[in-house]
Amino acid sequence: MKVLLTGASGFIGGRILKALVNDGHRVVALSRRKPASAAPQVQHLSKNFAEMLTPADWDGSVQGIDVVINAVGILRESGLQRFDTLHHRAPAALFQAASAAGVRAVIQVSALGADDEAATAYHRSKKAADDVLLGLPVSGIVLQPSVVIGLGGASTAMFTMQAKLPAIPLPGKGQQVVQPVHVDDLVDGVMTLVSNQQTLDRFSGRRVAIVGPEAMTMRQFYSRLRSALGIASPARFISIPMWYMGLVAQAGKWIPNSPLDPDTLSMLERGSAADPADIQALLGRAPRPVEAFFSSSASENPR
């Protein structure tokens, strides 16, 4: 099968690329950086995603493609990297071009919270592209992951660093709700859709929550993450007042690569959890619990 994969050098896209290669698929990989994979069946597409804003810009790129997977995403805007361009306009143009070219299926990696209640530019831009895809005459599936954890991820590095501290800072009382999912479970879900027509048909035209087996508070997440990291001592916490978190978030707007700004704080406060029934049906098993996130099988083998 021939797959067009965007965001192929990113944290999630890189994992998907490796899984596609391992399964013997031919891949056209579009990314800002050339993917590390030197497999002969990988062709790097040297185009700027942010400049491919009309269906015509994708002419020659989607013809002969069986499946399109969009894994482009940014958490913070920077320079020319804008939410509306990267999350909405370019993906929408890609989806329209893919549909017109007769592509069999389009898989969009979106985000949990990209819905009618979306209050941030990040979530609204994701939802705009999701809506375009689901309105087209193509088998489109929107995957909506919660917090994605795995070695090599920027958020994973931040969470694990804080989990190892003798006293872990919490926003407020740490009651914000998350449902972290391992990146390998997300990748396994993508690969099931690529390889299994019956599963693809079942989920076509839908938004699918990609979450861990259970929701938990941030306080619970850090405690369980310490256990997953093999730290025997119990977690201790420092509660940071929310008014102070708001000030830090405002300052974060001006700090490049800061993980905290008003939008990310707002998304944290909103929470990120959903019924795990869809991911269990997609995988044919329960997703990994936090305690299994750093086992050798989870961290070394993406399938």
**In percent, how much of the chain has pLDDT > 70?**
96
Residue with the two structure tokens 């482009």? 72
Does any domain span residue 160? no
> pLDDT tens for residues 85-119?
999 999 999 999 999 999 999 999 999 999 999 99
Residue 95 sits in a domain whose CATH number is 3.40.50.720
Q: How many helices (H) and strands (E) does the chain have?
A: 12, 13
Residues β-bridged to residue 27? 3, 42
For residue 168, the 8-state DSSP code is: E
Task: Give CA–CA dist 299/180, Å, rounded.
Answer: 15
pTM: 0.93
Enumerate residue ranges in the chain where pLDDT < 70: 35-38, 296-303
Q: What pLDDT score was predicted for residue 75?
A: 87
Query: What burial letters (b/e) apply to 76-106, b meaning 16+ CB within 10 Å?
Result: bbeeeebbebbbbbbbbbbbbbbbbbebebb
Does any domain span residue 230? no
> pLDDT tens for residues 39-67?
888 888 888 899 999 999 999 999 999 99
Residue with the two structure tokens 């998907």? 16
Does any domain span residue 258? no
Structure tokens at 50: 């942010």
Cβ-contact 205, 139 below 8 angstroms = yes
- Rg over alpha carbons for the chain, rounded to the nearest Å, is 19
Does any domain span residue 115? yes
Find the Cα–Cα–Cα–Cα dihedral 211, 214, 219, 225, rounded to 10°: -70
Q: Which domain holds residue 202?
A: 2-148+181-212+273-289
Please name which of 214, 180, 213 lies closest in space to residue 283, comparing C-alpha atoms: 213
Q: How many domains does the chain have?
A: 1
Q: What pLDDT score was predicted for residue 285?
A: 96
Interstrand relation of 216-217 and 177-178 (parallel, antiparallel or unpaired): antiparallel
Q: What pLDDT score was predicted for residue 61?
A: 93
Q: What pLDDT score was predicted for residue 36?
A: 67
Q: What pLDDT score was predicted for residue 303?
A: 43
Does any domain span residue 265? no
Tell me the three state secondary structure of residue 239. Answer: strand
Does any domain span residue 98? yes
Does any domain span residue 248? no
Please name which of 21, 7, 103 lies closest in space to residue 64, comparing C-alpha atoms: 103
Residue with the two structure tokens 């093999």? 230
Q: What pLDDT score was predicted for residue 76?
A: 86
Task: Give CA–CA dist 181/12, Å, rounded.
Answer: 12
Cβ-contact 169, 238 below 8 angstroms = yes
Q: What pLDDT score was predicted for residue 150?
A: 93
Task: Give CA–CA dist 287/281, Å, rounded.
Answer: 10
Task: Give CA–CA dist 52/36, Å, rounded.
Answer: 23
Cβ-contact 86, 110 below 8 angstroms = no
CA end-to-end distance (rounded Å), the chain: 18
Structure tokens at 244: 């102070």
Does any domain span residue 268? no
